[in-house]
Structure 1
Amino acid sequence: MTVQTCFLHLVRNSLRYASKSTGRRVISQLRNVHTAPTAPAMSTRRIPAYDM
């Protein structure tokens, strides 16, 4: 499994699989996880699954 370390590439690759209508929600959830102050805090911020 490849882990994206660059936030820009993470967003670009994530949006490939999201529809345009859910793209903004995906970006906001990724931002929520990415801005966590520590790794343990990041693991508590879950990204909900969307019906795409």
Structure 2
Amino acid sequence: MLMGTPDADGDAVPGMWAAASGGRLCFWPGGRTAHGARFMVGDTGVTNRAIG
């Protein structure tokens, strides 16, 4: 699952969050022309998801 969010890191540019199928939570900081490098935020502990 991928979700855009309002500014989450104080740079006034929206970032993106993703929950990987293995339960990892990742964040890409926003940028004026491109998003920054992904970094691991934590582990959700959830391994199965369904949308819909």
Q: Give the TM-score, by structure 1 length.
A: 0.23
- Greater helix content: 1
Larger radius of gyration: 2
Q: Give the TM-score, by structure 2 length.
A: 0.23
- Greater strand content: 2
